[in-house]
Structure 1
């Protein structure tokens, strides 16, 4: 079976797409949720009710009004919409 010019173009494009995918898929950069006494209740809520239910408790401590402040480049703040903390911040394995 002989490869035609179109086959080589397809292979080249597929190789470029794969190279780009591998280049952007580095290590995880977001912080994990600590496994400390303050956050342990959220681990239980995730087990029982899911991540969306646990997300509702995050703004009680993580807020701009005297709580744990967000970093300046944090993509979403509570005033911007519903918090989905556990979408990016993963739980640690026990």
Structure 2
């Protein structure tokens, strides 16, 4: 499950990097055609990247929500569940050692 999440996150970053390159190429073409100035091009790339970043964050939030929903549906143990059980085991082991000693 963790590997799947990491792969999704890596994919998101890869898409963002590829998108930036594509956006820069598109904006460069607009500059070459004289449709926008070089000064405007930098602002345009930044604006598009900000909007793309917001969309990426929303997508990642949706992925996290979906993974959490699936984990809950499958009744998978959370990290907190495991830590709580480890503390109980440690406490019980301590009690067992005290009664044996």
What is the TM-score of this pair, normalised by structure 2?
Answer: 0.29
Please, what TM-score do these two structures have when normalized by structure 1?
Answer: 0.31
Larger Rg: 2
